[in-house]
Amino acid sequence: MTKPFKLIQVSDIHFGGEHKAAVEAAVERIHAERPDLVIAAGDLTKDGKTAEFDAAQAWLDRLPRPRLVTPGNHDIPFAGPREILWRLVAPWRRYQSRFGRRKSQDWDDPRVTVVALNTARAFQLRLNWSKGAVSRQQIREVCADLKDAAPGALKIVVCHHPLIEMIGGPMTAKVRGGTAAAQAFAQAGADLVLTGHIHAPFVHPYPFSDGCTQAVGSGTLSVRERGVPAGFNLIEVDDVDIRITALAWERTRFVTWRTWSVPRRCIPKDGPNENGATEVAPLKV
C-alpha cells in the first residue's frame, strides 16, 4: 500500500434508541478521519420499524462514501402484531429497499476485499431468535469471494454476530455454524472479521490455520451500553501492521478508549502450543 488504508467500523446504532449526542458527533468525527471505507455491522434499528430505517438511512447518507452495510437481528420487524406479520412475509424488505442485498454490498479494489455476511435470522428452531447462524452455503460463498481477492489484498469479512464467543463479554452470540465459519474463513486467508452485537469492542485472533485472522468487535452508538461508553472503531492498515482504535464518547467528544496493533500477516513459529493454538511471529517484509 502506498498509504495506510483507513476504515470506520460502526455497529448497533439502534435508531429508535440511539445515543443522540454521540450519533451526531460521530458524523463530524468520521468526516474528520477521511476514511477510505465506512462499514456498518448491523443493528441499524431498535425494532425494525419504517421510521427507524428512515433515520438510519438518513444518518448513513451523511457519512463519507464508499460504505458497506450488513444487517443485524434488530433489523427484522418484531415489535407488535403487525410487525410480526412483516417478519413472517417479508423480513428483509425494509432493510433491502434501503441498503440492497448481500451481494450488492460486497466491496473490493486491488488493496482490500470486503465480503458481507448476514448472520441474522427471521426465525430459528430455538427460543432466542436474536442469536446468529451461518449456513454451509454462506460459508462457501464467502470463501469463494475471499479466494478471488487480488494478490496481497487485505481480506475482510463483515457480519453482525461474533462467530466465536468473546471470553468475558457482556453477552453471548452463540452463532450456529459460527465455529465452522471462523475456521473456513481463516483457512481462506481472511485478515479481519468485523462484527457488532455485544456492544463492546474487542480484538482477538481465531485459533485456526496460521492464527492470523483477527476478530474485531465494535461498540454501540445507542443508549444500550453494556459496561462500555458509546463508540465505534477506527482501523488503519499499512503493509506491516493493522491498528485498531476503539473510540468512546466522553461527555462532549470521542476519546481513545483502547488500542490494539497486530501484524498484517504472520507465520507459524513453533507449531501448536499447549493450548492447541499456534504460536506466531511477525512476517518479515
Question: In terms of Cα–Cα distance, which of 225, 234, 194 is closest to 72?
Answer: 194
Q: What is the pLDDT of residue 37?
A: 97
Domains contained in the chain, number: 1
Do 272 and 278 meet the contact criterion of CB atoms below 8 Å apart?
yes
Q: Rg (Cα) of the chain, in Å, rounded?
A: 18
Instruction: Determine the structural domain holding residue 223 and report its residue range.
Output: 5-282
The ranges of the chain with pLDDT < 70 are 1, 79-81, 86-88, 102-104, 123-125, 168-173, 266-285
Give the C-alpha separation, 205 to 62, whole Å. Answer: 33
Sign of CA dihedral 253, 36, 199, 69: positive
**Model pLDDT, residue 128:** 76
- Considering the chain, what percentage of its residues have pLDDT values greater than 70? 85
Coil vs helix vs strand at 246: strand
> Which CATH number do you get for residue 90?
3.60.21.10
Encode pLDDT of 183-227 as tens digits: 999 999 999 999 999 999 999 999 999 999 999 999 999 999 988
- Angle, nearest 10°, between helix axes 136-147 and 178-187? 20
Q: What is the model's pTM?
A: 0.88
The SS3 of residue 195 is strand
* Of residues 163, 180, 173, 70, the one with CA closest to residue 115: 70
pLDDT at 91: 80
Alpha-carbon distance of 264 to 262, in angstroms, equals 6
In 62-207, which ranges are continuous DSSP H helix?
81-89, 93-99, 136-147, 178-187
> What is the C-alpha separation between 261 and 246, in angstroms, rounded?
12
What pLDDT shows up at residue 86?
67
